[in-house]
Amino acid sequence: MKIEQTSFNRYVKENVFETIKTYHLINPNDRIMIGVSGGKDSILTLHMLNKYKTENKVNFDIEAVCIDEGIKGYREEGIKTAKDNCKRLDIPLTVYSFKDEWHYDLDDISDIYKSTCMPCGVYRRYLLNKISSEHDCDKIATGHNMDDEIQSFLMTFARNDQNKFPKFSPILDKIHENMVPRIKPLWRLPEKMLEYGVL
């Protein structure tokens, strides 16, 4: 199926902008930290928030952070993509690694765990919050899309993990003085819409 790029770009932009406005994800004078992995979802979030800032009358600041887990042959390309896109948009980028924080990479401790996915997620979220807090950011923007939310909700429902149900929202309020609230600008955007690319 042929996708008409201009119409497609307009649909994606309107979807994201409407989500931001409907749920009041960004307020005047906010400082937003965007978690950028280098993947399509986070790069789209980076570009959409930059467009929102330039095309609307809401004055807010954007910066980005890329967490390097230290997985050989995996993260290098993502970091390069994050750097290239942030440079293109003139958005400050902080690259911070597990080794910077704990003096070891994820590869160094992979034999401790049956699967490194769980500790990797915990460590990444910790560092994302830490860097955002140190930079006095009001919110963290992530690239979670509609499919991510649905899949996560179904897994949580299957486990009957009722404590996690409040997190299924485009904005997660501050639950602790040291926790930076999170926003999900792609919350209503289906993943298939991300496969074609839009910038």
pTM of the model: 0.86
- What confidence tens digit (pLDDT) does each residue in 143-184 have? 988 766 666 656 665 666 566 555 667 888 766 778 899 999
- The backbone region for 24, taken as left when phi is positive above 0, alpha when psi lies in -120 to 50, beta otherwise, is left
Dihedral sign for Cα 82, 87, 88, 91, please.
positive
pLDDT range class, residue 112, cuts 50, 70, 90: confident
**What b/e readout covers 150-159, taking b as 16+ CB neighbours within 10 angstroms?**
eeeeeebeee
- What confidence tens digit (pLDDT) does each residue in 31-53 have? 999 999 999 999 999 999 999 99
Q: Percentage helix, strand, coil, to 5, in the chain? A: 50, 15, 35
Kindly tell me if the per-residue pLDDT of 28 is higher than 80.
Answer: yes
Cα 168 to Cα 111: distance, rounded to the nearest angstrom: 33
Kindly tell me if the per-residue pLDDT of 197 is higher than 60.
Answer: no
Kindly tell me if the per-residue pLDDT of 89 is higher than 90.
Answer: yes
Could you give the residue ranges of the DSSP H alpha helices within the chain?
Answer: 5-22, 40-55, 75-89, 98-102, 117-134, 146-159
Q: What is the mean pLDDT of residues 124-128?
A: 93
Kindly tell me if the per-residue pLDDT of 25 is higher than 90.
Answer: yes
If you write DSSP's letter for every residue of 84-98 in order, what string do you get? HHHHHHT--EEEEEH
Q: What percent of the chain has pLDDT over 70?
A: 82
Q: What is the mean pLDDT of residues 94-103?
A: 93
Q: Is 73 helix (H, G, I), strand (E, B) or coil?
A: coil
Cα 43 to Cα 34: distance, rounded to the nearest angstrom: 9
Kindly tell me if the per-residue pLDDT of 122 is higher than 80.
Answer: yes
